[in-house]
Structure 1
Amino acid sequence: MVTMIGKVLLGPLWLLQLATGAKSFLDNPLIGSRRLNRHGLHLGRTRLADAMSRWRRRRLARDVPPAWREAFDRDGFVVIPDIVPLDQFPALRDAILTYQGPAREMQQGDAITRRMAVDPVMLQAIPALRTLLERRDIVALLHYAASFRTTPLHYIQTIVAHAGSAGPDPQEVLHADSFHSSLKSWLFLNPVAADGGPFCYVPGSHRFTPERLAWEKRRSLADPRAIDRLSARGSPRVTSADLDAMKLPPAQAVAVPGNTLVVADMAGFHARGASVHAGERVEIWSYARRNPYLPWLGGDLLSLPGLAERRVGWLWAFRDRFEARIGQPWRPVGVRTPIDSQS
């Protein structure tokens, strides 16, 4: 419970957060204020973030292959098969799957997620991976989806289904990551079947239509202490009734062969589909989210070569150092390959 003195001291910080991507209705009483939101605070932040994202994307559009850009603009995601030349993909895949390096894991429900940082050591060991991540058409698409010229955080990610104790997996519930656009992408190294934990997305749900904005207004007026914790912290869960109210179709399961790249806007509603059988999904996973109100495209010093590929290690070390205050869900599990048996 924040004391009166604490509120006075934290007040300027809470106010400054309104000009950032801060999204928690629980942690910031201004963001979570039903009084302010009745007067349009959340809706105003959402509208402005959307307008800024669309403005930045217009300036980045010319570098993106038109077919990719059109699919992304229409659906909120784009699926690109055979992204790596067919004569090069087997060697790249084998090099990644047999690479040994420090790994971290997190369990949610009965699924374990393992991540290995794409860091300088990995890039030196697998030069083809660096070449892929620096490919101009891919970089242009990732910039467009992120709406910034920023280098994403890159990982080798493994999802192990039916790996332990049962329980609700929040990743299997349709949700948006935030009230503003951000990037996630997956380059699947193995085929992913419709019943094998596929990426699912509601086509067109990245657009802030009048119906989506009306839904955003309604959710901003809910008591954050009376709804599920993830929604209250700014990652809203949606039901089929919500989709109907927003005139959106059901989620589409993206079943794909290996060597397929999927790039998506995380303002749209998405989830990981259920996996009927035990198994694993391995991918090159990339993520980028910046302050949605910045008017410039670049300016991210941590995207500079020599720094960008070290950020994951720094992030993990920072969370380890301040685990007691901010938490650290990613526990180190030693040196692994992406396809080692889970711990």
Structure 2
Amino acid sequence: MNALAPLLAPLWFAQLFTGAKSFVDNPLIGSTRLNALGLHAGRVRAAQALAAARRRRLADGVDPEHRGIFDRDGVVEIRDFLPAATFSALQEQLFSYRGPAREMVQGDTITRRLAMDPAARRAIPAFEDFRRDPRWQGLARYVSGFDIEPLLYVQSILPRRRDAAPDPQLAFHADTFYPAMKAWLFLEDVPVETGPFAYVKGSHRLTPQRLAWEKQRSLGARDGDCRLSARGSLRIDVSELTGLGLPQPSVFAVPANTLLIADTFGFHARSPASAPATRVEIWAYGRRNPFRPIKGWDVWSLPGIAERRIPLRWWLGDRAGGWIRQPWLPVGVKGAADG
């Protein structure tokens, strides 16, 4: 690695101006000396400022009530999101659909995803009523801070495996150092015993306390014993929240047909489940280079390209060998709720 350092140094430097977040993969991002001087904190501050500027230009597309809730809490919950007839059709079509599936194992939890690719969209025409809903379109863009089309999947959280390590998603964490969007339209009820999404309201805001915490954590993340924190998804213990001026987490046990959308710079987790269950949802994900000042002009959001991104990403990951980590393994043709 030392022999390659002069060749890799320009790449490492260029990554400072992207969403690269791993303290172990980039020696500049992980440098204790540079972070003591404020490198990580400066990237966090700059990313937040740019996201705020882009959101101001996207604000008119969001219902003022929802925008106010998001700005305050970092998460928005909308029950009965779709008309009853539309939601019933979506459920029937989605649970009947079978397509190429991928799964990832994290601890004792298995997550399955099916891409909402052209084949899935033809088989599930009611999905377009959701995707084209102006409330969804406006919120997805405002929360992500970009005028982009998010990645869209059918996602299933499958019953826990026995005799496995705990799910790392049970620990409260921020996905990355900059604002990003995740959303769920739940196809089934999510009672508290099945491990609902939990979020620390207000933790998406960059307060002086949060910035100081980010700087402090950046000094030891590279050499710490938490692999996911070292890769840039910093973990936090709930006992630390009070010191940051934050409340205890809110748990979102919600009925079917609830849309939940959150900024995952805020601290969040999957709450512990006390009963085995399969949960099915439409899951969305949206983020881009946080240092990109413009809100739109995204080629990956163009019709004909947007709906093919997920199969392309999976195909590239399969063929990239060790260069790109591919945690999503093919498991054949399956339905969302198949055992």
TM-score with structure 2 setting the length: 0.98
TM-score with structure 1 setting the length: 0.97
2:338 paired with 1:340: yes
Question: Separation in 1 of the partners of 2:221 and 2:152?
Answer: 36
Structure 2 residue aligned with 1:21: 19
2:103 paired with 1:105: yes
Task: Note closer, same or farther for the CA distance 1:178–1:119 as it changes in structure 2 (3 Å cut).
Answer: same
Structure 1 residue aligned with 2:317: 319
Contact 1:106 1:331 in 2 (8 A): yes
Question: Separation in 1 of the partners of 2:258 and 2:151?
Answer: 19
Structure 1 residue 164, shift from structure 2 partner: 4.0
Structure 2 residue aligned with 1:239: 237
Structure 1 residue 235, shift from structure 2 partner: 0.1
Contact 2:93 2:126 in 1 (8 A): no
2:54 paired with 1:56: yes
Gaps of 5+ in 2: none
Question: Separation in 2 of the partners of 1:94 and 1:73?
Answer: 35
Structure 1 residue 156, shift from structure 2 partner: 0.1
Number of residue-to-residue matches in the alignment? 339
Structure 1 residue aligned with 2:139: 141
Question: Separation in 1 of the partners of 2:301 and 2:221?
Answer: 38
Question: Separation in 1 of the partners of 2:29 and 2:161?
Answer: 37
Secondary structure, counterpart of 1:262 in structure 2 = strand
Task: Report % sequence identity.
Answer: 51
Secondary structure, counterpart of 2:77 in structure 1 = strand
Contact 1:163 1:278 in 2 (8 A): no
RMSD in angstroms over aligned alpha carbons? 1.1
Task: Choose from 118, 121, 127 the match for 1:120.
Answer: 118
Secondary structure, counterpart of 1:326 in structure 2 = coil
Question: Separation in 2 of the partners of 1:111 and 1:228?
Answer: 18
Task: Note closer, same or farther for the CA distance 1:164–1:115 as it changes in structure 2 (3 Å cut).
Answer: farther
Structure 1 residue 163, shift from structure 2 partner: 3.3
For 1:13-40, what per-residue CA distance to the aligned partner results, in whole angstroms no more than 9, with x for missing partners? 0000111111111111111111111111
Contact 1:162 1:278 in 2 (8 A): yes
Task: Note closer, same or farther for the CA distance 1:324–1:44 as it changes in structure 2 (3 Å cut).
Answer: closer
Structure 1 residue 137, shift from structure 2 partner: 1.9
Structure 1 residue 323, shift from structure 2 partner: 3.2
Task: Choose from 217, 220, 242 the match for 2:218.
Answer: 220
Contact 1:109 1:165 in 2 (8 A): no
Instruction: Map residues 260-271 of structure 1 onto 2, 5 A cutoff.
Output: 260-271=258-269
Question: Separation in 2 of the partners of 1:102 and 1:66?
Answer: 39
Task: Note closer, same or farther for the CA distance 1:224–1:153 as it changes in structure 2 (3 Å cut).
Answer: same
Structure 1 residue 240, shift from structure 2 partner: 2.1
Amino acid across the alignment from 2:111: T
Contact 1:184 1:264 in 2 (8 A): yes
Task: Choose from 281, 305, 308 the match for 2:306.
Answer: 308
Amino acid across the alignment from 1:265: D
Question: Separation in 2 of the partners of 1:301 and 1:36?
Answer: 35
Structure 1 residue 223, shift from structure 2 partner: 5.2
Amino acid across the alignment from 1:324: G
Question: Separation in 1 of the partners of 2:285 and 2:209?
Answer: 28
Contact 2:86 2:129 in 1 (8 A): no
For 1:170-210, what per-residue CA distance to the aligned partner results, in whole angstroms no more than 9, with x for missing partners? 11110000010000000000000112110000000000001
Gaps of 5+ in 1: none
